[in-house]
Chain A
C-alpha cells in the first residue's frame, strides 16, 4: 500500500468533494479515510488514500491536484504519508 495524504483548504463551494473524488476514481486511487470540517465558511478536508493501483506517481498526482486546486480557488496538497509519520510517531 502506498499511503498518500491529500489536504484541501479554501472557501466552501458546491462540488469540491465530487470533483476531487472523480479525479481520484479516474486515476484508480482508493480513498481509505476522509475527515472534513467547515469553520467560518472555510472548507477543510483531509483524505488518506492508497495510490498503489494508480499509474501516476505522487509527484504527478500532486501536480494534477494543484491544477484542480487553482481552478477551484482551493489549496490542495498531496504528500506521501511517511513525512507525517516520521514527524509525529516515534
Chain B
C-alpha cells in the first residue's frame, strides 16, 4: 500500500515544484500524402493530421485529470516537409502554402505547435531542400504554430557548409520579417547536427522517416523537483549528490512513462519514446541554472560550470533510463537562455557568455538555445556560430543545435520579450571578428575519423 509520505511527496512535486509532463507529441508520417499536385497534397496533409490528431488534446486533458498531473503541451510532429513537398513544390511560395496548411490543421485540432517544416541535408541539399530552406522566413512569419528545423550535419556525413551559409542568411531574414514581434520567427527555427527523429520537444521536433505511421512521444521535465531534492543534501559528497539526482530523475521519468503508456492506449497509437529532459520554463523554481547553483556555483558560467552540468546531465540519464524501456529524443539537461530565469540572471550579472554556453553544450543535450544576439550580427557570423556548434556535435557523436535570435533593431544590453514558454532574453555580445572567408567556401566538411580518439 502506498504510504501517506509517498503521496505527500508526489503531490508536493506537482503542486509546488513544477513537476509536469512537458509535452505529449503525436508523430504523424505524411509520406502517404505525397502527390505531385500541390492542391491535392495540401488536402491530403490537412485530412491526415486532423483525422489522426482529433482526440489528442481531449485525451491529454483526460489523463491530466485522472492522474492530477499537468500536461503542459499537446503537439504534433510530421515528416520533414522537404521530403513530402518535393514533387509538388516548384517555388518557395508553394512550400509556404504547405506551412499554412500545417498551421490550419494544428489550429483545427487545438495543438500549440506543429514541428516538421524541416529538411535533412547533412550530406547536401536537393532542390526541394534548398527551396524549403529559402522559404523558411516567409513560412514562419505567415504562420503561428509551425516550427522549422534543418539537420545540417552528422557524425556519419560531416557538415553541409552550403546549407550552413544559407541558414545564416535565412536566420537574419526570419528575424527581420518578424521584427515587429521580437523576431519571434527565429525562436521557431533550429539548426541541428545529428538530429534525433523521435524528439518530442519544439522547435526541433519532426517525425523521422524510420518511424511508424503514427507514434506517441512524451517529454518529461522537472528541474524544480531536482533542485528541491538537492536542497536537502546541501554540502554532501558527490556520491550523495549523484544518487539524489538519479533517484529524482527516476521518479520524474516514471510519471512520464505512465502518461505515455496511457496516451498510447487511449489513442490506440504506438508508444515511441520518453524524452527524459530537464527542460526549464520562465516560471520561478523551474530552472536548470538554479540546479547548477545548488550544486555549488555562484552563477552558471563560473569556472566549474561545465563539470557541474556534465554531472547533472549524466545522472539524469542514468536515473531516467531505468524508469522507461524506451528512452530517446534529446534526453538531458536543456540550457536555453530566454526560458530560464537563472540563465537570464547569469547573463545580466556578466557571468555567462556565448563562449561558455558553447563549452557547456559539449556535455549536455541540445546546444546554443534561445540566445538573443544583436540584430546587426552578420549572416556569416551566424553561420560561423552554427558551424562551431555543429562541429561539436559531429566530432563528439552527439546532438547539438543552434537557435539564435538576431533581434532586429536591438543591441547588446537590450531585452526582448517573447511571452509564454519562450520567455524573454537579454541581447548578448558576439565576437566581432570575421569568419567570412571560411563561410564563403563551397562544399562540405568531411565526416570525422572514428578511430584515434584523443
Partners in one complex: yes
A residues lining the B interface (CB < 8 Å): 5, 7, 33, 35, 37, 44, 46, 48, 57-59, 62-63, 77-88
- Partner pick for B67 among A35, A37, A79, CB 8 A cutoff: A79
Output the least CB separation between A68 and chain B (Å). Answer: 16
Question: Which of B144-152, B202-210, B250-258 is the contact stretch?
Answer: B250-258
How many A-B Cβ pairs are below 8 Å? 60
Q: Is B109 part of the contact surface with A, judged by Cβ < 8 Å? A: no
Q: Is B11 part of the contact surface with A, judged by Cβ < 8 Å? A: yes
Contact between A84 and B6, CB atoms less than 8 A apart: yes
Contact between B67 and A46, CB atoms less than 8 A apart: no
Residues of B with C-beta under 8 A to A46: 4, 7
B residues lining the A interface (CB < 8 Å): 1-2, 4, 6-11, 62, 65-69, 251, 254-255, 257-258
Report how far A86 CA is from B220 CA in the complex, Å: 14
Residues of A with C-beta under 8 A to B68: 62, 77-79, 83
Report how far A81 CA is from B68 CA in the complex, Å: 10
Residues of B with C-beta under 8 A to A59: 62, 65-66
Name 16 extra pairs, CB < 8 A, besides A7-B7, A33-B1, A83-B69: A44-B4, A46-B4, A48-B2, A57-B66, A59-B62, A77-B11, A79-B66, A79-B68, A82-B67, A82-B258, A83-B68, A84-B2, A84-B10, A86-B258, A88-B10, A88-B251
Report how far A32 CA is from B190 CA in the complex, Å: 52
Contact between A87 and B66, CB atoms less than 8 A apart: no
In order of increasing CB-CB distance, the 10 nearest A-B pairs are A59-B65, A79-B68, A86-B258, A83-B67, A86-B254, A88-B6, A58-B66, A84-B2, A87-B251, A46-B4
- Partner pick for B254 among A48, A57, A81, A87, CB 8 A cutoff: A87
Report how far A19 CA is from B251 CA in the complex, Å: 34
Residues of B with C-beta under 8 A to A63: 65
Report how far A57 CA is from B325 CA in the complex, Å: 29
Report how far A78 CA is from B11 CA in the complex, Å: 11
Residues of A with C-beta under 8 A to B2: 5, 48, 81, 84-85, 88
Report how far A17 CA is from B316 CA in the complex, Å: 41
Contact between A35 and B4, CB atoms less than 8 A apart: yes
